[in-house]
């Protein structure tokens, strides 16, 4: 839906040249912003992140050298391509050859469609290729290590102190899977390891590798966040609880299940990158060996920890002693089972989810967005009426995804995006209780559940205002509210509009509001023409043209009814 959309900035004062370039650039994947002077252009560069910038060197009142210097300063290290344009060939050559900053290219005026499109195709391809490569590298190497490679072309080994090391494996894996279909086996491993990845990322830890059915992660090695032992204990507790829940579900359906065992130790280690052709980030030392032995000496469904790790977490977690256990090449060490979070530090006193106090002590954000998101989506999936064909939990997921992309295109900061995503999760929760005028109920649920997941009063008030901005007849009064409104009704300008609209009318019919086929069309035309508008520049660029087409299509259908 949004995967291939890019922001483009056109800086051009000449109306004829500007119109010519815009006519060539207009495309469903191009979110185009326009400036007629350098001041507005620099303001836009502060507010938005652009992939390609078309900058005229013929702007009045500013030299080419200063203009490009100012643009480079605003763009910084962004992966943006600057294409300068001018009717003077010498000015183009001088500008491109005279700078050593960033990607540069040029286009002469008047603009030739084939040349513009050819350059756009090249730079878009390079942008998405660079994006894919970055995503791949980020999945292989820690961010700090990547930064060192980009700056120095290498990464030096590091010695780290008080690092937490976790190992997991599945009990009797070889025997359980010896007759398994290979594709099903890999699919199941991917399911579990992907969930472990999600949990490890949530607690700001670092996955190191998987070896067969074993999974390894560390804390305190690559991140600057404090209290790696507490964060690792929380991650292990969540992984164990996830596996226990999965086991109980599979048992209920009389299906085969896997059990997990986990081991953790804390201590000093060495971390670094090995390999010249295929890089691998790894850690070494006795701490790693003892953590592996802790896992080997664990039992199904349990988290076996060393005495050193127990000392680091015991104020917040319930532990049971196992006494001294002999480890190969390491002698005797004290071992404990990590049973769960102490009730006074857990949500609902259940020992499973950390409360605000423990999150604060662990150096985690007070608000647990990931936990709240999982809880709300599960609640919607389980409890929404099956007659809600449009306002289903899938709609909530779709709106949240649109919020993320519009937030990126409109350059919301991290906290603003967090607030709008929260609003997306709750904006239709009122449908759990009634069909009409349900925004207030969504707000009530927000204020009920939000504090339990660490949300503070000020943030809850802001999210409430964002939700209420989606009500019928309401008008957003800031960028966050605008992003939410446009994401909520993003489908009005998409190609799948008619399918989605049909679901909405069918849902209304199931809830007592039935319209004839002709009336459905009339209602849609009236709403699209007289009651709806997009608010963000991105939605106006990307969805408004599609909305105009939908109106034309509906009017054609209506004329057929009246013929």
User: How high is the pLDDT of residue 101?
Assistant: 55
Q: 351: which 2 tokens? A: 């020992």
Is the CB of residue 552 less than 8 Å from the CB of residue 558? no
Let me know if 482 is exposed, middle or buried by CB neighbors in 10 A (0-12, 13-18, 19+).
buried
Co-location of 201 and 256 in the same domain = yes
Query: Does some domain include residue 144?
Result: no
Is the CB of residue 187 less than 8 Å from the CB of residue 193? no
- Give the lowest-confidence range in 64-68, 247-251, 414-418: 64-68
- What CATH number has the domain bearing residue 554? 1.10.1300.10
User: How high is the pLDDT of residue 98?
Assistant: 60
Query: Does some domain include residue 145?
Result: no
Higher pLDDT, 307 or 131: 307
Co-location of 324 and 214 in the same domain = yes
Residues 6+ away with beta carbon under 8 Å from 10: 18, 21, 22, 25, 32, 33, 34, 35, 54
User: How high is the pLDDT of residue 436?
Assistant: 84
The band of 217, judged by pLDDT with boundaries at 50, 70 and 90, is very high
Co-location of 321 and 416 in the same domain = no
Average pLDDT, the chain: 92
Helices (H), 153-259: 173-177, 182-202, 228-252
Co-location of 184 and 220 in the same domain = yes
User: In whole angstroms, how far apart are CA 284 and each of 218, 268, 272?
Assistant: 11, 9, 9
- What CATH number has the domain bearing residue 77? 3.40.50.2300
Is the CB of residue 33 less than 8 Å from the CB of residue 410? no
pLDDT at 373 > cutoff 70: yes
| Beta strand residue intervals within 328-453, DSSP E | 331-341
Among the three residues 312, 342, 361, which one is the final residue of a domain in this structure?
A: 361
pLDDT at 147 > cutoff 90: no
User: How high is the pLDDT of residue 21?
Assistant: 97
pLDDT at 3 > cutoff 80: no
Token look-up 């005229």 returns 56
Co-location of 404 and 488 in the same domain = yes
The band of 38, judged by pLDDT with boundaries at 50, 70 and 90, is very high
pLDDT at 339 > cutoff 60: yes
Query: Does some domain include residue 494?
Result: yes
User: How high is the pLDDT of residue 100?
Assistant: 56
Query: Does some domain include residue 246?
Result: yes
pLDDT at 349 > cutoff 90: no
Co-location of 543 and 413 in the same domain = yes
Would the CA dihedral through 543, 546, 550, 551 be positive or negative?
positive
User: How high is the pLDDT of residue 25?
Assistant: 95
User: How high is the pLDDT of residue 136?
Assistant: 84
The band of 40, judged by pLDDT with boundaries at 50, 70 and 90, is very high
pLDDT at 241 > cutoff 80: yes
Query: Does some domain include residue 1?
Result: no
Mean pLDDT within 321-346:
91
Q: What are phi and psi of 334, to 5 degrees?
A: -70, 140
Mean pLDDT within 531-540:
95
CA atoms within 13 A on the CB side of 477: 5
Query: Does some domain include residue 168?
Result: yes
Query: Does some domain include residue 146?
Result: no
The band of 350, judged by pLDDT with boundaries at 50, 70 and 90, is confident
Listed residue (51, 113, 129, 126) closest to 83, CA to CA? 51
Structural domain span for residue 261: 153-361
User: How high is the pLDDT of residue 139?
Assistant: 81
Distance CA 105, CA 553 (A): 41
Q: 110: which 2 tokens? A: 């008047």
Distance CA 71, CA 320 (A): 61
Co-location of 120 and 161 in the same domain = no
Tens digits of residue pLDDT in 425-448: 999 999 999 998 888 999 999 999
pLDDT at 252 > cutoff 60: yes
Mean pLDDT within 76-103:
76
Long-range contact set of residues 438-445: C-beta below 8 Å, sequence gap at least 24: 439/467, 439/468, 439/470, 439/471, 442/467, 443/467, 443/468
**Residue 320 CB: number of other CB atoms within 10 A?**
9
Co-location of 248 and 172 in the same domain = yes
| 501 membership: H or E segment, kind and range | helix 497-510
User: How high is the pLDDT of residue 77?
Assistant: 60
pLDDT at 48 > cutoff 80: yes
pTM, full prediction: 0.85
Co-location of 534 and 389 in the same domain = yes
Among the three residues 313, 342, 361, which one is the final residue of a domain in this structure?
A: 361
| Beta strand residue intervals within 286-413, DSSP E | 303-306, 317-327, 331-341
- Give the lowest-confidence range in 69-83, 89-103, 399-413: 89-103
- DSSP H helix total and E strand total for the chain: 22, 13
- Give the lowest-confidence range in 147-151, 292-296, 455-459, 555-559: 147-151
3-class SS of residue 114 = helix
Among the three residues 78, 110, 139, which one is the final residue of a domain in this structure?
A: 139
Co-location of 187 and 309 in the same domain = yes
Higher pLDDT, 388 or 1: 388
Number of domains the chain is built from:
3
- Give the lowest-confidence range in 304-308, 435-439, 450-454: 435-439
User: How high is the pLDDT of residue 91?
Assistant: 81
Mean pLDDT within 529-541:
95
User: In whole angstroms, how far apart are CA 404 and each of 25, 141, 256, 483, 491?
Assistant: 24, 25, 38, 9, 15
Q: Cα–chain-centroid distance for residue 180? A: 34
Mean pLDDT within 107-128:
94
pLDDT at 93 > cutoff 60: yes
- What CATH number has the domain bearing residue 250? 3.30.70.1230
Mean pLDDT within 93-109:
74
Co-location of 292 and 413 in the same domain = no
User: How high is the pLDDT of residue 133?
Assistant: 87
Q: 36: which 2 tokens? A: 């007629």
User: How high is the pLDDT of residue 427?
Assistant: 96
- Give the lowest-confidence range in 124-128, 147-151, 236-240, 368-372: 147-151
Co-location of 348 and 374 in the same domain = no
Mean pLDDT within 450-472:
95
Tens digits of residue pLDDT in 490-517: 999 999 999 999 999 999 999 989 999 9
3-class SS of residue 172 = coil
Token look-up 């000020």 returns 458
């Amino acid at each position: 839906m949004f995967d291939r959309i890019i922001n483009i900035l056109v800086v051009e004062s000449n109306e004829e040249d500007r119109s010519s370039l815009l006519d060539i650039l207009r495309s469903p994947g191009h979110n185009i912003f326009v400036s007629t002077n350098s001041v507005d252009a620099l303001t836009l560069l502060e507010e938005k992140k652009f992939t390609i910038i078309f900058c005229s060197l013929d702007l009045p009142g500013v030299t080419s050298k200063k203009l490009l210097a100012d643009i480079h300063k605003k763009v910084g290290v962004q992966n943006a391509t600057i294409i300068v344009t001018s009717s003077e060939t010498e000015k183009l050559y001088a500008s491109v050859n005279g700078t050593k900053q960033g990607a540069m290219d040029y286009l002469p005026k008047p603009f030739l469609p084939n040349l513009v499109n050819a350059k756009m195709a090249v730079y878009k391809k390079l942008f998405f290729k660079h994006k894919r490569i970055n995503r791949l590298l980020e999945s292989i190497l820690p961010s700090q290590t990547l930064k060192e490679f980009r700056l120095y072309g290498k990464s030096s080994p590091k010695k780290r102190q008080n690092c937490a090391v976790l190992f997991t494996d599945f009990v009797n894996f070889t025997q359980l899977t010896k007759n398994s279909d290979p594709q099903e086996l890999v699919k199941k491993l991917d399911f579990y390891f992907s969930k472990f990845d999600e949990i490890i990322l949530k607690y700001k830890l670092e996955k190191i590798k998987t070896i067969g059915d074993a999974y390894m992660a560390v804390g305190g090695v690559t991140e600057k966040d404090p209290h790696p032992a507490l964060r690792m204990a929380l991650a292990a507790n969540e992984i164990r609880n996830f596996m226990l829940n999965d086991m109980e579900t599979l048992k209920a359906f009389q299906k085969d299940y896997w059990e997990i065992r986990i081991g953790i130790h804390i201590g000093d280690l060495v971390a670094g990158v090995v390999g010249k052709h295929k890089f691998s980030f790894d850690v070494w030392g006795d701490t790693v060996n003892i953590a592996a032995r802790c896992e080997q000496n664990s039992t199904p469904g349990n988290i076996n920890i060393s005495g050193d790790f127990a000392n680091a977490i015991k104020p917040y977690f319930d532990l049971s002693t196992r006494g001294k256990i002999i480890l190969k090449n390491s002698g005797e060490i004290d071992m404990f089972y990590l049973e769960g979070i102490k009730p006074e530090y857990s949500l609902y006193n259940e020992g499973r989810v950390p409360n605000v106090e423990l999150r604060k002590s662990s150096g985690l954000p007070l608000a647990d967005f990931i936990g709240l998101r999982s809880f709300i989506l599960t609640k919607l999936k389980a409890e929404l009426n099956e007659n809600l064909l449009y306002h289903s939990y899938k709609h909530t997921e779709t709106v949240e995804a649109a919020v993320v992309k519009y937030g990126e295109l409109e350059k919301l900061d991290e906290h603003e995006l967090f607030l709008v995503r929260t609003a997306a999760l709750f904006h239709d929760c009122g449908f759990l209780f009634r069909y009409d005028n349900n925004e207030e109920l969504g707000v009530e649920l927000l204020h009920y559940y939000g504090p339990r997941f660490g949300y503070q009063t000020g943030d809850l008030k802001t999210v409430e205002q964002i939700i209420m901005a989606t009500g019928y007849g309401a008008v957003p009064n800031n960028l966050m509210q605008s992003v939410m409104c446009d994401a909520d009704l993003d489908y009005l300008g998409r190609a799948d509009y008619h399918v989605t609209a049909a679901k909405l009318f069918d849902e209304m019919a199931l809830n007592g509001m039935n319209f004839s086929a002709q009336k459905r069309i009339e209602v849609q035309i009236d709403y699209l023409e007289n009651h709806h508008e997009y608010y963000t520049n991105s939605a106006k660029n990307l969805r408004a043209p599609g909305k105009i087409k939908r109106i034309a299509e509906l009017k054609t259908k209506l004329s057929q009814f009246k013929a």
